[in-house]
Amino acid sequence: MGDGITRRELLSRGALGAIGLAAASSAASAFLASCSSGGGATSAATGPTSLLYDAPPTTAPPETGGAPWWLRGGFAPVREEVTVTDLPVIGTLPAELTGLYVRNGSNPVQDWSPHWFLGDGMVHGIQLENGSARWYRNRQVQTTLVAAGGGLGAGAAPGGASGLSNVSVGHHGGRLLSLGEVGLPYELSPADLSTIGPFDYGGALTGNMTAHPHLDRATGALHSFGYGFTPPFLEYRVADASGRLVHVETVDVAKPTMMHDFAITDRDVIFWELPVMFDMQGAIKMVSEPQSGVVPFSWDPSYGARIGVMPLGGPATAIRWVEIEPCFVYHGINAHRVGDDILLDVCRLDSTFAPAGTPSSLTLHRWTVQTSGPQLRFCDERLDAPPADLPSIDRRFSATAQGHAWLAQVRDAPGTVDLGGVVHYDYGAGSVSVWDPGPGRGSGEWFFVPGGESEGEGWVMAFVYDAATDRSTFTVLDALDVAAGPVAEVPLPVRVPFGFHATWVNQA
């Protein structure tokens, strides 16, 4: 496949012995299991299945009317847009936390969606200032689909302005942007979270944009990609620090695959092309018959899986590929260079969008890609850590050997998704600490906000839902001592549905 090395060639050449991971990085050695000798790919590890994304949709008890898990309980959409001011605070909000926390997620306008990923976007924000919580707002992102009645069946096939805009939010070039899996970003007002409109970089962005762009700390440039359902299947882009799109080029891939995230180092762009395939017929049925429950993606390991490495900023023609065992990664944690080796930590699933009953474990892995020589070489090692996803790091130290990472705890709960509290990985100490909010309470991504000069000095924050009260609390933890519990809580008079990714707009 491309300029890579096949698994069979890797075995025959004994290339793994040349990687020398132990010498490459000692920071995470306490977490690393030994690298498999069978082509560098570990076997499936014991842990919760991929219910994080693939819980069956029809296991609801009769009293719920058969609604799938993503439309009931803490996942159920909310209809009212509210504004609540002068919120109470339990504990002490650090005065340094002056700014806006915003989180995105699915909130289907029609009270129905065929998958957790496929509801209309709604943002939830809380404004903090000098130890007080000034306001909470939730606002539906006013996409063209929402204007047409909501959901993918309300308008054209996804793409362009016809996107759900429900995955993440980001702040770059002075703009607050809501981002979806496919489609254009939507610009939001940080003053009240109202929708300004679709943002296409002055007409320079003509395709879809990922919900996971990555910032080059050295230049302030934002690197992103977009995958399409028709050619070009994959585009790579760069926006400069001012928010002007300055570079666009096509990355050559054979077919449309779901590519949720990617990574950068100080000199590389790393793509993972994995075997979740786009199904045009499924997409047509999803749009024309929204109640069918059909989604346009399917697991096809026969397509293969590979990692591509190209220079930061391009050109895409210089990309090199290496084959890996079929798997799926929604989220990378961080990537960095150690000499000729690229070290990339990921949240790895054995599969996703696979047929019902397909076993799949969620485990954390370190991927190492050795770039010296004419062909890339690959090693896959499992991190000795509990299952978790939706990672956050101290982004001031991205593309370096990270010392800390915070992820959403994944609790095993058949028939639904159960994201508990936060898991903190201290790479230097070789330790794991957890804050679990307790039975009936859950959260999601824990976003890191800095509060000191050293890596990890600061706070992680999230909305925590309590099923007993059907209300949510904005919760802040000391990032380096999560097990101690909240340093501050802001009880809300409403429920914030479980969602996806957040950002922080510093206003200090």
Residue 466: exposure state from Cβ atoms within 10 A (0-12, 13-18, ≥19): middle
pLDDT digits (tens, 9 = 90+) for 482-496: 999 999 999 999 999
Tokens of 3: 């300029």
Which of 359, 361, 334 shows the shortest CA–CA distance to 348?
Answer: 361
The residue whose two tokens read 């890596």 is 455
For the chain, first and last CA: distance in Å? 50
pLDDT at 411 over 80: yes
pTM: 0.89
pLDDT digits (tens, 9 = 90+) for 160-169: 898 999 999 9
User: How confident is the model at residue 160, as a pLDDT?
Assistant: 86
Tokens of 114: 């065929």
Is residue 99 within 8 Å of 80, Cβ to Cβ?
A: no
pLDDT at 12 over 60: no
pLDDT digits (tens, 9 = 90+) for 101-129: 999 999 999 888 889 999 999 999 999 99
Indicate the range of 28-42, 140-154, 326-340, 471-485 predicted with least confidence: 28-42
Query: Per-domain residue ranges for the chain?
Result: 7-506
DSSP state of 279: -
How high is the mean pLDDT of the chain? 87
Q: Where are the beta strands (DSSP E) in 361-470?
A: 362-370, 377-382, 388-392, 404-410, 419-426, 431-435, 441-442, 447-450, 458-466
pLDDT at 5 over 60: no
- What number of other Cβ atoms are within 10 A of residue 218's Cβ? 9
**Interval 463-489 mean pLDDT:** 98
Q: How sure is the predictor about 413, in pLDDT bands with cuts at 50, 70 and 90? A: confident
Domain 7-506 CATH class label: mainly beta
User: How confident is the model at residue 295, as a pLDDT?
Assistant: 84
pLDDT at 156 over 90: no
Contacts of 71 (CB under 8 A, 6+ apart): 77, 108, 111, 112, 113
User: How confident is the model at residue 355, as a pLDDT?
Assistant: 86
